[in-house]
Amino acid sequence: MGQSMRDIKRRIRSTENMRQITKAMKMVAAANLRRAQTKAEKGRPYAEKMRDVIVNIARGTKGAKHPMLESRPVRKTGYLVITSDRGLAGGYNSNLLRTLVQTLSERHQSKDEYVMFAIGSKGRDFLKKRDYPVIDEITGLPDAPTYEEVQEIVKKAVGYYAEEKYDQLYIVYNQFVNPIVQRPVNKQLLPLSSGNLQEESKSPKTTYEYEPSQEEVLSVLLPRYAEALVYSALLDAKASEFAARMTAMSNATDNATEMIDTFTLHLNRARQAAITQEIAEIVGGASALNG
């Protein structure tokens, strides 16, 4: 019985240590979430305003030419998939990758029809392990990615599109809704056709004056708009990651507390059984002496 009690005490100590770790990770994730949520919310109006300006230019510019506007027959589709580099985030990565796999099975007949641009080691490892065609990968992005890092990603993505390594590009990421809800999103990034932009835009028509010309302004704004889309998606993805990790660590902390309570109950029962057995042995010995 003594050995069993020692085992229970050891389990209680190890579970308490685990609870301290998960509680600390929850607090770190909560602090990161506040910063990431603020940046994500501040970044959305910029992308929306940029889209509105581009829509207005596109309405008045007929036949504008730019590599990011060129639509062509779709022989191959690209997917820019944003996942995390670390785990312990609940269903953050698995839900997104499950949605991606389902989309691929519904939209394509074979793996020859698409390629993957993986951001984050979790998505990269998942895709490579299952032999999905990964054309490029980026890992090790900081918790607060900079705009310069996003520019490099967009430069690569647009470059592959210009080289016709794919004919359209979708960005796949978790959109931050609130600390409890993160929604997988599959949004077309390239080509930036004026029709798609106008469908997304809900703002009324606004009159602008352009210098030097609408075409030249459009050629400058289109790459900036793509950068803003990817940057906003990355900020959303980071906020979603921290929210998912905070929830997962909170659940782990609660489960550890329940386990400690259960082990403590078992320990008390073991102690009671040991005391009862000792009393029974004492009573039995006294009865034998009196007999």
Which DSSP category does 130 fall into?
Answer: T
Instruction: Say if 218 falls within a structural domain.
Output: yes
**Bridge partners of residue 80, in order along the sequence:** 117, 171
User: Alpha-carbon distance 36 to 84, whole Å?
Assistant: 14
Instruction: Say if 200 falls within a structural domain.
Output: yes
User: Alpha-carbon distance 16 to 4, whole Å?
Assistant: 18
pLDDT score of 1: 46
Give me Rg for the CA atoms of the chain.
29
Q: What is the dihedral of CA 82, 83, 84, 88, to 10 degrees?
A: 160
- Domain containing 193 equals 27-247
User: Alpha-carbon distance 159 to 163, whole Å?
Assistant: 6
pLDDT score of 184: 94
In order along its 291 residues, the chain shows pLDDT tens digits of: 455 788 888 999 999 999 999 999 999 999 999 998 888 888 778 777 777 777 777 666 655 566 777 778 889 999 999 999 998 888 899 999 999 999 999 999 999 999 999 999 999 999 999 999 999 999 998 888 888 888 889 889 888 988 889 999 999 999 998 888 899 999 988 887 655 555 555 555 566 666 777 677 777 888 888 888 888 899 999 999 999 999 999 999 999 999 999 999 988 888 888 888 888 778 777 777 775
CATH number at residue 49: 3.40.1380.10
Instruction: Say if 132 falls within a structural domain.
Output: yes
- pTM as predicted: 0.83
Instruction: Say if 78 falls within a structural domain.
Output: yes
Q: Which of 155, 176, 175, 187 is nearest to 78 (CA)?
A: 187
Instruction: Say if 112 falls within a structural domain.
Output: yes
User: Alpha-carbon distance 161 to 71, whole Å?
Assistant: 11
pLDDT score of 286: 73
User: Alpha-carbon distance 245 to 248, whole Å?
Assistant: 5
Instruction: Say if 263 falls within a structural domain.
Output: no
Instruction: Say if 198 falls within a structural domain.
Output: yes
pLDDT score of 105: 93
pLDDT score of 228: 86
Instruction: Say if 1 falls within a structural domain.
Output: no
Name the domain count of the chain.
1
